[in-house]
Structure 1
Amino acid sequence: MARKKQKPPFSPAVMLVAVLIILVLGVFGVQVPDNIQEMFGLHTQQQTKPSTTKPVSSTNTGPKELGAATFLSDELADSKKGWIDYHTLDSLSRATGADALLKPAMVNTGTSANKDIRPPGFVSGLEPTLHSRGHLIGRQLGGSGDDPRNLTTLYQTPVNTPYMTKYENQVRQALDNGETIRYRVIPVYEGTALLCKQIDIEAKGLNKHTTVDFRVTILNER
């Protein structure tokens, strides 16, 4: 006995209309259930596209805030004019620190890092090193970018920005408000390593109701 040919569940006209409706809905971002798509032979398995986002990895745990600044009483002496004292370079030509008495008039009197100066350990500002000629006393605080004693090799991200910038901006805001700030930045090296292990920063406002009084350590790591 001949087997009867199975008729399709829908007429060709109905199927054509249904297919057109499904396609139009797809154009407008309406998701049609898989079982309906399968019914009309339209369901195809979606392919998962590989992610093009590079995973972010960093060993830097961020700034470590250590409480109030530790300046001695005689280190907090005020003067009419502000000043910056860059410590001498060591035997490896590494910057060793800087002290300052910052006044509002010093804001934005500094200079950008001189491209002709290569602090010890500096390779390139591009990948894979992403080094920066890091100011100890920031340019916006009056620090020189033309004095090797004020430049040390830092990782631009996240050390120079945003970590150091965060605390420099706090000091800048206080200066903009008319405060006087005692400031110190010390790069800490391990042995003969050319790149410092960390940057120690402390700042204290001399005004009675100062908004600045901190001591912080920032690891020089990516």
Structure 2
Amino acid sequence: MRLRHKPWADDYLKENDDIVVQNPFDQKGKWNSLFSEDQPLHIEIGTGKGQFIAGMATQHREINFIGIERAKSIIVSAVEKVKQAEIENARLLNENAQDLRDLFAENEVDKIYLNFSDPWPKTKHEKRRLTYHTFLQQYKGILKPDGEIVLKTDNRKLFEYSLVSFSKFGMILDEVLLDLHDYQDPENVQTEYEEKFSGKGQPIYRCKAYFSS
């Protein structure tokens, strides 16, 4: 899908610096200083238009959330959703974080969400998948010892690949759901993609995993 260029996006993100962190790499090791409360820190990689992170932050005021999205034309919608929700426990980063260890310190993050990530279906692009072992190494470097990764996707091949990748890395699978919506989880906050695909009858796969000590 081709993204529509929004020439005003740069100024808009700077104007909303109370939500969009302008110098995120300077915050490494002290992210909670940006929030009014020192609380567990959850991050979403690939925030998209922000429905998930705004919904989660509204539902869980006892947690601080950070959403990372590299596309300016998309993250502006996430800013709007956070503003409309009138929440203080969510911040956004407009970054292409090639290594999360440059942004977060060891043991700084409690949970990582991977929602409807690009499946990169071609074998030659395997290294770009967010559950490839080099990414898992990054996650392990910033998560607390009991930290968790939550993956949601409509792509069965990516889901199967991720389960194998987690297992090869020595991770422990805490949950494997072949259709999340069969379980009617009352705490599940849907993303825009999730609403779209589930509305067409597409199964939504979810798994939770953590690193063994």
TM-score by length of 1: 0.21
Larger radius of gyration: 1
Query: Is the helix fraction higher in 1 or 2?
Result: 2
TM-score by length of 2: 0.22
